[in-house]
């Protein structure tokens, strides 16, 4: 029997997840379907219950429901609990909530040739997107993870939130200027500034000679942040398209027990971008 999966959000029409998962299913010869579900803003829980009652095996959750999904789950993985957001449900006897965004980012950075073990990393932003990737970055063995934010207190609050997982003492936090005390191997923009064509006003001298500047958004060409990074000396630039594919692959592996090869899907999506 064909196992059913879905991505749920509002809006959802432009989601790339159905195409990504269809490609993974074909490549791994898994008998599954994957659809896009539009839930009314006040009807998330009902839509999830309905899909589950119809035999759904799992879901991805996207904007604006990731926090509500976190509330709704019967159980949370540790990374999802700390992220405060859920992007993947696994339906069994109960609803397990997980978050594969951070693992997707870590995997993408590996693919891009920017390994995190021993790396000095600067994370820009202290909202949901930043919070979702901090534990996987720590667990990937970074030597330093500085969380910088426009509102410095929010960055410090995030550092405190993850203190129990920072046995090696790699975390630090503050405002843009406080981030200036080290060159970084990887700088990740997890602010929403790119959505309004803005860049965080970063001080000069942040980028190590072989550094990678990464913007979590995709499909916007060279963002204001990436332009600034290029001008400030970042050696390489990357958008978040790979993270999108890799977080999907992590979810697929949770559901199906097989990790798809992402190279072909990455290339196809890249070729389709403007
Ligand atoms: P998301 O879920 O995308 O992380 P969010 O939780 O609203 O969205 O967080 C948005 C993040 O982007 C915050 O870190 C915000 O900074 P503040 O905490 O100071 O508000 C940051 N941000 C948004 N617009 C920005 C801009 N123009 N320049 C710099 N940072 C910006």
Alpha-carbon separation of residue 102 from 128, 195, 240, 248 (angstroms) = 11, 20, 12, 11
Number of Cβ atoms within 10 Å of the Cβ of 259? 14
Q: Going by C-beta distance under 8 Å and a sequence separation of 6 or more, which residues neighbour residue 45?
A: 68, 72
Atom of ligand 1 nearest to the CA of 154: 18
C-alpha of residue 66 to centroid of ligand 1, in Å: 17
Instruction: List pLDDT tens digits, range 75-116.
Output: 999 999 999 999 999 999 999 999 999 999 999 999 999 999
pLDDT band for position 182 (cuts 50, 70, 90): confident
Residues 211 and 140 in one domain: yes
Atom of ligand 1 nearest to the CA of 196: 27
Domain that holds residue 169: 103-241
Residues 114 and 224 in one domain: yes
Binding residues for shikimate: 15-17, 62, 87, 101, 218, 247
Backbone CA torsion sign across 155, 136, 89, 18: positive
**Pairing label, strands 88-91, 207-215:** unpaired
Give the pLDDT of residue 237: 98
Number of folded domains that form the chain: 2
Q: Answer with the one of 72, 99, 126 that is the final residue of a domain.
A: 99
Give the pLDDT of residue 181: 74
Alpha-carbon separation of residue 16 from 60, 195, 233 (angstroms) = 12, 18, 32
- Average pLDDT over every residue of 223-251: 98
Residues 112 and 232 in one domain: yes
Residues 133 and 181 in one domain: yes
Catalytic positions are 66
Residues 212 and 228 in one domain: yes
CATH number of the domain encompassing residue 95: 3.40.50.10860
pLDDT at residue 194 greater than cutoff 80:
yes
Here the ipTM equals 0.98
Instruction: List pLDDT tens digits, range 15-58.
Output: 999 999 999 999 999 999 999 999 999 999 999 999 999 999 99
Q: Is residue 194 part of a domain?
A: yes
CA distance 132 to 110: 18
- The region that residue 221 occupies, defined by phi over 0 for left and psi between -120 and 50 for alpha, beta otherwise, is left
Give the pLDDT of residue 192: 96
pLDDT band for position 126 (cuts 50, 70, 90): very high
Q: Is residue 229 part of a domain?
A: yes
Q: Is residue 171 part of a domain?
A: yes
- Average pLDDT over every residue of 222-244: 98
Ligand 1: residue of 67, 150, 199, 225 to mutate (most ligand atoms within 8 A of CB) is: 150
Residues 193 and 85 in one domain: no
C-alpha of residue 191 to centroid of ligand 1, in Å: 4
C-alpha of residue 53 to centroid of ligand 1, in Å: 37
Q: Which residues line ligand 1 (CB under 6 A)?
A: 125-130, 149-151, 154, 191-193, 196, 198, 200
Q: Is residue 126 part of a domain?
A: yes
C-alpha of residue 156 to centroid of ligand 1, in Å: 15
> Which pair of tokens denotes residue 156?
């410090």
pLDDT band for position 198 (cuts 50, 70, 90): very high
- Nearest CA among 104, 108, 100 for reference residue 83: 100
Give the pLDDT of residue 67: 98
Number of Cβ atoms within 10 Å of the Cβ of 228? 17
Q: What pTM value is reported for the model?
A: 0.97
Residues 39 and 112 in one domain: no
pLDDT band for position 180 (cuts 50, 70, 90): confident
Q: Is residue 130 part of a domain?
A: yes
Ligand 1: residue of 65, 87, 127, 149 to mutate (most ligand atoms within 8 A of CB) is: 127
**Alpha-helical segments (H) within the chain:** 17-28, 44-53, 66-72, 78-83, 101-111, 128-131, 134-139, 152-161, 224-231, 241-256, 263-272
């Amino acid at each position: 029997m064909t196992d059913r999966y879905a991505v749920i959000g509002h809006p959802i029409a432009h989601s790339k997840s159905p195409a990504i998962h269809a490609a993974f299913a074909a490549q791994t010869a898994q008998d599954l379907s994957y659809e896009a579900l539009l839930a009314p803003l006040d009807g998330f829980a009902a839509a999830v219950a309905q899909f589950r009652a119809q035999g759904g095996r799992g879901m991805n959750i996207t904007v604006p429901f990731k926090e509500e999904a976190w509330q709704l789950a019967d159980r949370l993985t540790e990374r999802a609990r700390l992220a405060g957001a859920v992007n993947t449900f696994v339906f069994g006897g109960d609803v397990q909530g997980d978050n594969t965004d951070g693992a997707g980012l870590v995997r993408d950075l590996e693919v891009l040739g920017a390994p995190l073990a021993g790396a000095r990393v600067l994370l820009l932003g202290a909202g949901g997107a930043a919070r979702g990737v901090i534990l996987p970055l720590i667990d990937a063995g970074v030597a330093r993870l500085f969380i910088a934010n426009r509102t410095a207190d929010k960055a410090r609050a995030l550092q405190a939130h993850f203190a129990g997982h920072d046995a090696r003492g790699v975390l630090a936090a503050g405002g843009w200027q406080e981030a200036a005390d080290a060159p970084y191997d990887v700088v990740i923009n997890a602010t929403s500034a790119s959505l309004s064509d803005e860049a965080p006003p970063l001080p000069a001298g942040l980028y190590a000679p072989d550094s990678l500047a990464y913007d979590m958004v995709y499909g916007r060409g060279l963002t204001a942040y990436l332009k600034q990074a290029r001008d400030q000396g970042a050696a390489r630039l990357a958008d978040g398209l790979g993270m999108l594919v890799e977080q999907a692959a992590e979810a697929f592996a949770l559901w199906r027990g097989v990790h798809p090869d992402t190279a072909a899907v990455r290339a196809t999506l890249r070729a389709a971008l403007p």
